[in-house]
Every structure is written in C-alpha cells, then in structure tokens.
Amino acid sequence: MNRALKQAQKAFDIGEVPVGAVLVYKEEIIAESHNSPISTCDPSAHAEINVIRDGAKFLKNYRLNNTSLYVTLEPCAMCCGALIHARVENLIFSAADLKSGAVVSNGNLLDSDFINHKVNYLQGLLQDESSDLLKRFFSQKRL
C-alpha cells in the first residue's frame, strides 16, 4: 500500500485527485498508476482502471486471476465493474469514499448476488495516510 500512496502523491503533484493503485500477481508488482482523467482527457482513467489495463497487457490476458489490487480509496461503481470483469481476486483499499465508493459505502456491488465473480476485499490499510492526502488536496482546491 505504500507504493500506492506514492502513486497518489504523484497524482496530487500534477493536480489530479490523489488516488494511487498497485496490482500484484503472485507477490510481484506488475502495474502501478494513479488517477489521470484530467491529464489524459479520459474520464475512465482512474487508478484502478489504469493498473487493470497495464496488468492485462503485462499478463497478455484480460483475466487477472491470482491478482491483488491495492488502492488508496474505495473504488467507484465503474472500477468495481472492471474488477469483476477482470477477475481480480483480492481488493485492498485504504479510505472509504462516502460519496462515490461502491464497495462498502454505497451499493456494496462486490457483495451482490447477481455478479459472476466474487472479489475478496479488505478496507482500512493505511487509511489515515490516504485520508490526510485527500483532505490536503481538497482543502487546497477550496481556497
């Protein structure tokens, strides 16, 4: 998760919402990225989507079996859908996103009966560090 926090700091430094993600396959980091929708003019360029894309290219397979995705903020509905379709095995996230989070805060998508793949998840790892970075970012935007 420390690597994901470093990615979040990179996003912060370029004016993107500071969310970072790391994708691990069999204990090896295969992708790391941060939010980049503003700089790429791509509304889907969330940190999770970026590492899923890069991980799929690395593995030469869109199914990311035996992977764990670490991210500094609870994924939104779009990212939850990508986790399911990519068959990510484990999701570990830091801070809850009370506004847009779709894992535990709103909708609990990963626990839905209608999905065809269950993603295991754990929340709260380095939560304070992630929350502090997000608070600093948004406090600067509101000046």
Give the whole-angstrom CA distance, residue 126 versus residue 143.
Answer: 27
Q: What is the DSSP string of 60-82?
A: TSS--TTEEEEEEE---HHHHHH
Quick count: other Cβ atoms within 10 Å of Cβ 104?
17
Active site (annotated) includes residue 129: no
Among 98, 97, 93, 102, which residue's Cα sits nearest to residue 123? Answer: 93
Catalytic one among 32, 48, 74, 89? 48
* Residues belonging to the active site: 48
